[in-house]
Each structure stands twice: as C-alpha cells, then as structure tokens.
Amino acid sequence: MKASPREKLIIAAVALPPPVHGQSLVNAEIVSELWCRQSKVIVADLSPSRSKRSFNYHFTRFLRVYRAILIVASHGTHKHKTLYTVMEAGQGAVYSAVLVLLARILRYKIIVHHHSSSYLRLKSALHRLAVCFSGPRCIHVVLGNQMREEFLREFNVRPQCVAISSNATYFAGAQRTKCQHPGEKVILGLLSNLSAEKGLGEAIKIALLCVSRGLDISLLLAGPVSEKDEYLIRDAKILLGNRLEMVGPVHSAEKWRFFERINVFLFPSTYKNEAQPLVLLEAMSCGIPIVTSDNGYIRELIDDAGLVLHMNEDFSKQAVDFIQSLVSNPRKFVECSNKSIGRYRALLDQSNEQKASLINSIVR
C-alpha cells in the first residue's frame, strides 16, 4: 500500500541480521526506532543472510539490491520521501552508488551512514564516486570526530552535511557496575567472528605466552569460527588443553553471561573495515579491562580505558605484560575497570543525543 502523497515516506535500504555483526545490529536498531516514530517506513533488506562468500551469497545480495532499486523507483513521485542507507565497503559500493544516484535523480532526501574505515584510509576511487553521486545535499553520518575529519579530507563534502552518531547507544548496556579483581585465576575472552583477521591467532598466542610465564589463565572464545581458520582452533586445543573453552555464537542473555565470566577482553583485530566495534563498547559497559589493536577508530573509542597497541611483533609481549600487571596489582585492575565503565558512560551520553538527532533528521 502506497503512502498518502502528504505523508512522509522513509525507505531504509540496509542490511539486517542475519548474519549478526555490529553494522547489522545498528541497522536493526535504527529501523526499530523509525517504526516507532513514523507510520510509513519501507525496509529493503540488503543482507545476503549468510557470511560465507559464495555464488548464493552474491546472487542473493544482487537480488535484494535490485528489489531496493525497484522500491526506490516505484515511490519516485511521492512528494515527501527520504532514503536512509549505508555505504558498503569494498566493491559493494557499486550498489550504494546506484541507489543514491537513483534517489538523487528522483529528488529523495538522502542520508548515508558510514561504518567502515577502509575506504577513507585506502583512498577508494569507487567510494569517491558513490559520495559524489549522493549529491551536495546528502547527509553523511560517521562514527566519531576522527572519522569525520578523515571524511572531510577525503571527500568534497560541506562540513554541515557530515553528522556524528557513535555506536554506544545501539545496544542495551550491562547492568553490572564493576568488575571484581579475578585473584590468581584469570579468564581472557574474545567475542567475534572468530578468524585470523579478527584476532583469533593473536589471542591464542597471548594465552600461550601467559601460560609460559606461569599465569593461571584460561581462554574463552565466543562466536562462529571461520572455516579457513579452523586449524587455529585445532592447534590451540592441543597447546592449551582444558585452558581453552569455546561457547559458539552468543546473543542477548548468553552474551552478557560471557562478559560476566571474563576478566580481560582481547581484541587484536586487523580487519581492514574495522571502525568502531560494538563488542568493545559492550565490554566497556561491563567494566572489563581491554587489550586491543589500534585499528580503525579504536584508539579514539577506548581513550585511556584500556591498552591500545599497534599490531607488531611486540603486541603479544606488551599485552601479557599488561595482563600480568593487572593480576599482580588489584588496585590497578579496579582502576582500569572503573575507567572502562566511565568511558562507556561518557560515550553513551553523547551517543544518545547523536542518535536522537539522526532519527529526527530521517523523519523530518
């Protein structure tokens, strides 16, 4: 059923779960907010419904983008209309470019949410073209101040057209108010799509180095395992034995139980599209000390609430030095935990305002 000509129409062309990852969760939360605020919202789900790249993955994705194009085109004569979409990373920017160009031709108000750091740092000509197609009135939404500065340097966009909306507000934070010192036994945790680029190998290396130093640790892994990196799990089971525990994919209450069990969260990611990982915010909301790579905009996100390191040959050593200092110094552990919660709450206050502003700009 078409919207009344006087009624505001919103088309949200975004990828929703499954698969579950930070961006799809943020997309789902924004769509939910729009449904609460606006009577006429049409959702064009761009998700391929699977993580593994295959013919079916690409074919499903193509069909869903094609459907989104048809939806945008079929409502082109509507007077008050907005397209809210996400800029795809990599070659997926072709789809984004087509959608925003069509919307611009049909005089939609266009809002594009950016979740990836790769095309800002690798100087992507395809993404420059997609941003150009979106036009001078398009509102671009980025995740933080550093990303905004890089976006303005890379693209010919007016500053007033680039808004910030941090990811801190897009999940229900933990109820725990502090993280207790673990005593002698330390549980290290990694929650992610478990693969080498998401830090699986480095997390295992950190656990092994902790054991070699005489620390009483275990490594708790949560998330689906990448098929090509299953060998890392097989090797870790041999080397760590019963110090390694895997709980598989976790969501909702299971995810918070995972965070309740761990004492230090590891995130040594080298994933090229990393920007502002939701899982780090979730760990911070629990007051968990964090050891992470300096990837995407993580340093700005964490600030002094954890240890942020460049990925080099000393990463594991510096990470274990930090973990050892937390174990041997309860006061330092509590201080780090308090900083983690404090940083999350400061980000949440900002993010709540930013989210309200974003939703208002979409529905206006």
Residue type, 1: M
CATH code, domain with 294 = 3.40.50.2000
Three-state secondary structure call for residue 182: coil
> What is the domain count for the chain?
2
Of the candidates 130, 164, 198, which is a domain's last residue?
A: 164
Phi/psi of residue 45, each to 5°? -75, 120
- Residue 181 phi, psi (nearest 5): -60, 135
Q: Does the pLDDT at position 39 exceed 90?
A: no
Give the mean pLDDT of the chain.
94
Same-domain check for residues 156 and 205: no
DSSP string for residues in 75-133: TTT-SSEEEEEEEPSGGGHHHHHHHHHHHHHTT-EEEEEE--SHHHHTT-HHHHHHHHH
Q: Is residue 303 part of a domain?
A: yes
Inside any domain, residue 361: no
- Residue 285: inside a domain: yes
283 and 218, same structural domain? yes
pLDDT of amino acid 102: 98
Distances (CA, A) of 138 to 70, 157, 271, 352: 21, 9, 28, 22
Q: Which of 164, 199, 230 is the last residue of a domain?
A: 164
Boundaries of domain holding 152: 9-164
Q: Is position 84 within any domain?
A: yes
* Same structural domain, 224 and 143: no
Residue 219 lies in a domain: yes
**Token couple for 305:** 């609430």
**pLDDT tens across 193-244, in order?**
999 999 999 999 999 999 999 999 999 999 999 999 999 999 999 999 999 9
Are 151 and 269 contained in the same domain?
Answer: no
Distance between CA atoms of residues 306 and 343, nearest Å? 10
- Side-chain half-sphere CA neighbours of 43 within 13 A: 17
List the Cα angle 212/309/295 in 5-degree steps. 125
Phi, psi of 349 (to 5 degrees): -60, -45
Tens of pLDDT, residues 114-156: 999 999 988 899 999 999 999 999 999 999 999 999 999 999 8
C-alpha dist (Å) from residue 80 to 10, 40, 57, 72, 107: 9, 11, 34, 13, 9
Res 175: pLDDT: 56
29 exposed, middle or buried (CB, 10 Å; 0-12, 13-18, 19+)?
A: middle
User: Is residue 105 situated within a structural domain?
Assistant: yes
240 shares a domain with 116:
no
- What is the model's pLDDT at position 2? 57
Q: Give me the phi and psi of 75, to 5 degrees please.
A: -110, 20
Same domain? 252 vs 140:
no
Domain boundary among 164, 195, 229: 164
- Dig out the tokens for 43 from the structure: 């959702």
Q: Are residues 132 and 30 in the same domain?
A: yes
Q: Check whether residue 307 and residue 193 sit in a common domain.
A: yes
* 31 and 156 belong to one structural domain: yes
27/155 same-domain check: yes
**Statement to judge: residues 243 and 330 lie in one domain:** yes
The per-residue pLDDT for 322 is 97
In a domain, 220, yes or no: yes
Distance CA 63, CA 66 (A): 5
Residue 171 forms part of a structural domain: no
The CA–CA distances, whole Å, from 239 to 1, 50, 64 equal 60, 32, 44
Which CATH number is 158's domain given? 3.40.50.11930
The answer on 92 and 194 residing in a single domain is no
To 10 degrees, what angle do helices 278-285 and 22-37 make? Answer: 80
Which pTM value belongs to this model? Answer: 0.92
